[in-house]
Structure 1
Amino acid sequence: MFGRSRSWVGGGHGKSSRNIHSLDHLKYLYHVLTKNTTVTEQNRNLLVETIRSITEILIWGDQNDSSVFDFFLEKNMFVFFLNILRQKSGRYVCVQLLQTLNILFENISHETSLYYLLSNNYVNSIIVHKFDFSDEEIMAYYISFLKTLSLKLNNHTVHFFYNEHTNDFALYTEAIKFFNHPESMVRIAVRTITLNVYKVSLDNQAMLHYIRDKTAVPYFSNLVWFIGSHVIELDNCVQTDEEHRNRGKLSDLVAEHLDHLHYLNDILIINCEFLNDVLTDHLLNRLFLPLYVYSLENQDKGGERPKISLPVSLYLLSQ
């Protein structure tokens, strides 16, 4: 699902003598966008290559010529990206656009350049865009894009993502929707995003209160439920595999459980008191006591409450 990115550099426009790394070439590409505001079957490849070339110039300009960002901002060029996306121009364009944006933000190193790209709220509009997440490739590039953005979070850039006035934080709330995605790499990316958000929240009381009051309880509740469901699946694998034919599956389930523990530990060692209180309360009262400890005391087959076997319960409590 998270395969190697395709090569995208190249495919220059216009005369071969034109310097593709220049403000002049960016102006030419802007002209191409203004002449192709509607995506069609005939121009979609041209638009994809144009956006790729713009991205290449921006990455070059980040290191060599800040005037390209001045022009990019002056002409409000990011809005073209968003308009192309909103035209429902097909998976090919969506995939290429997400891939290109991911490459762009991965390679921008100067904060001033980053501020240019994050201004006007276009990135948040892309985050909340209704993509077809049933498409694995779109899902992969989308969550990678969110992960890349989360790695850019700091005390200065967080204000481009968390809006204190509207009490909105799309980067975080959209990411946690995929906490139990069937693809493990998506779940891992979500965990990385949340950890990056929690670390930054320590220095932003408004954002911390937003996370605690609006998202912590439902997110940690769902997370603990997901871990509990996984534990029951692990226990079923142990109890139904008397001849040890499913060692591979059991090994994967144990590894996944250990990943859960590492993630929980990563949250706790951030040492955010508000979050730790909510998380430990859910772990204690919705997982450890009602499942692990209850299973130790009630090994009879009856009852409607879920139980796990004694060996598995002891193993989990010892971790």
Structure 2
Amino acid sequence: MATSSLADSSVAYNSGDGVFGHWALHGGAKSGSCWVVGEALGLELGRNGKEAVVDILQSIVEIVSYGDKHDPSIFECFMELQVLAEFVRMLKVSRNPRIQAAVLQYLSIMIQNLQSEQAIYYCFSNGYVNSIITHEYEFHAGDLALYYVSFLRTVSGKLSRDTVCLLVKTQEDAVTSFPLYTEAIRFAHHGEKMIQTTIRSLTLSIYDVRDDMVYRFLMTPPASDYFSDLFLKLREDCIHLDTTICSLRDNYTNDKRKDLLSGIDKLLDDLYYIKDLLCVGRSYLSSFVTRKLLGLLVVPIVVPLMQLEKTAGVKMSAVTSLYLLSRLLQVVDNKEILDSVASLVLYPHMALSSVPVSEADFDSSQIKLSSKHVNNIEQALDSSLKSQEPSKGKSLGNLLGNKLSSHHVLSCQWNDAQER
């Protein structure tokens, strides 16, 4: 009999009824395990077997969640019977997407509701969670990908410096495998917006753990390719945005306007995520991300703005370049990026004299100015900030007003396109 509430579940457990009672009636843990898996395959209950297994999974989660909060002996039974191992086995023997989705869904609910450290340690130990993460799913079936990503996000929410070691493999004081992260970032550019958002939230949770060994793994290829792919994809989106803007000048349509507004919204989402990346974790992770950002996005955007001869790579109009920089500085409140952009814009030939525009791993230390020029920039910024209190992006815009006056007409065209 499958119970439907926490109170009923606890009574069923104590009276030998419910899920654990079923296991006892079928000869203990071993026979009960076979019975549960048999139901998952629909071998005992025929057409209704799949629905019954979903009810059983729900009851197990309710019982365990209740026991974690109110009765430790219930969770001890959960560990003794190795129920989590049966969840893993159920995934391996069942190819039914609905069963797999139910397993992921109710495991997410259970882990989310766990409060005791003992329960969290048990769930993360013995490789059970990693086995569930690395299982080969058929994500083209229904909403399975959404349940899978939600499960990953739930696990990441329980991570700490004490528990992260249970989900990584190490060799000689170095992390060699971190399935939670590597499997999650495969969905970083998924077509479903909700999945993208979930993955970004997951990555921020991992970066916030602040474990040095994990950081070294994240900053080493192939895991570090995630940051490169992020900025390269954003650069492609910027180029597409520029194409849309240019096409609006010749042929204005409502569809193109919607495409433009959609591109702007996506750009802002990406910039706010970059801001979060620079705020979480330790400073050297932030510096690593900053170097990637400058080399793969900022420098390619600045070059067409300044109309330099080094225009290899990105082709973009000055108005789009100026707009992207202003948005970047308004959203990403980072002194190193602000200083680098100011150096590039105010003194481009000096700042870029030794920097190949096409260089992938760009080092912000390569943007160099004399101390006199740095002082001039700082004094101008201080003066602008004292006279008024706008955002940093606007202050820099005022500072660059004279230098960028040649782009005024193009900026007006940009504003007209937005108003239309």
Please indicate, yes or no, whether the TM-score normalized by the shorter chain is above 0.5: yes
Question: What is the correspondence of 1:235-274 to structure 2 with a 5 Å cutoff?
Answer: 235-242=242-249, 243-245=252-254, 246-270=256-280, 272-274=282-284
Counterpart in 2 of 1:111?
A: 117
Question: What letter matches 1:59 in structure 2?
Answer: S
**Once the two structures are superposed, what CA deviation does each residue of 1:80-99 show, in whole Å capped at 9, x if it has no partner?**
11111112431111111111
Question: What are the residue-to-residue correspondences of 1:84-99 with 2, within 5 Å?
Answer: 84-99=90-105
CA 1:22–1:115 in 2, change beyond 3 Å: closer, same or farther?
A: farther
Opposite residue 169 of structure 2, the aligned amino acid is N
Letter in 2 for 1:52: Q
Q: Does 1:307 align with 2:315?
A: yes
Asked if residue 27 in structure 1 is aligned to residue 14 in structure 2, the reply is: no
Letter in 1 for 2:12: I
* Deviation of 1:221 (Å): 0.8
Superposed counterparts of 1:209-224, under 5 Å: 209-215=216-222, 217-224=224-231
Distance 1:191 1:234 in 2: 23
Question: Alignment partner of 1:89: what SS?
Answer: coil
Q: Percent identity?
A: 31
Aligned AA for 1:138? L
What does residue 172 of structure 1 align with? 181
Q: TM-score, normalised by structure 2?
A: 0.66
Q: Quote the offset at 1:23 in angstroms.
A: 7.9
Change beyond 3 A, Cα 1:27–1:21? closer
- Distance in 1 of aligned mates of 2:213 and 2:15: 40
Partner amino acid, structure 1, of 2:242? D
* Contact 1:146/1:193, CA 8 A, preserved across alignment: yes
Partner of 1:3: none
Q: Secondary structure at the match of 1:213?
A: coil
- Residue 56 of structure 1 aligns with which residue? 62
1:114 & 1:190 partners in 2: Cα distance? 21
What's the CA shift for 1:22?
Answer: 4.3
Task: Indicate the residue corresponding to 1:6 in structure 2.
Answer: none
Q: Kindly name which structure, 1 or 2, has the bigger radius of gyration based on alpha carbons.
A: 2
Structure 1: distance between partners of 2:258 and 2:185: 29
Supply the distance in 2 between the matched residues of 1:93 and 1:250 (Cα, whole angstroms): 41
- Is 1:69–2:75 an aligned residue pair? yes
CA distance in structure 2 between the partners assigned to 1:17 and 1:35 by the alignment: 19
**Structure-2 separation of matches of 1:181 and 1:17:** 39
Unmatched 5+ stretches in structure 2: 27-31, 328-420
* Paired residue secondary structure (1:306): coil
CA displacement at 1:64 relative to structure 2 = 1.0
Q: Please list the CA deviations of residues 37-64 of structure 1 after superposition, one character each: whole Å capped at 9, or x if unmatched.
A: 3443323333222222111100111111
Farther off after superposition, 124-133 or 232-241: 232-241
Q: Distance in 2 between matches of 1:316 and 1:22?
A: 63
Select the residue among 294, 297, 314 that pairs with 1:284.
294
Q: Secondary structure at the match of 2:303?
A: helix
Correspondence 1:187 to 2:179: no
Contact 2:207 2:281 in 1 (8 A): no
Deviation at 1:156, TM superposition (A): 1.8
| Distance of 2:41 and 2:66 partners within structure 1 | 29
In the alignment, what sits opposite 2:138? 132
Once the two structures are superposed, residues 205-245 of structure 1 have per-residue CA deviations (whole angstroms, 9 ceiling, x without a partner) of 22222222245531111111111111122222222234251
Cα distance, 1:135–1:309 mapped onto 2, change above 3 Å: farther
One-letter identity of the residue aligned with 1:308: M
- Measured in 2, the distance between the counterparts of 1:18 and 1:231 equals 56
- In 2, are the aligned partners of 1:144 and 1:189 still within 8 Å (CA)? yes
Deviations 1:88-133 (A, max 9, x none): 4311111111111111112222222222222211111001111112
* Distance across 2 between alignment mates of 1:74 and 1:113: 12
Matches of 2:166 and 2:281 in 1, distance apart? 25
Contact 1:127-1:174 within 8 A present in 2 as well: yes
Post-superposition offset of 1:260 = 0.9
Give the distance between the partners of 2:9 and 2:145, measured in 1 at CA: 39
Q: Contact 1:61–1:69 at 8 Å: present in 2 too?
A: yes
**Partner residue in 1 for 2:41:** 40
Measure, in 1, the Cα distance between the counterparts of 2:9 and 2:218.
53
Aligned-residue Cα RMSD (Å) equals 2.6
Shift of 1:280: 1.7
SS of corresponding position for 2:12 = coil
Structure-to-structure mapping, 1:135-154, within 5 angstroms: 135-154=141-160
Shift of 1:254: 1.0
**How far is the alpha carbon of 1:271 from its aligned partner?**
5.1
Q: How many residues align?
A: 303
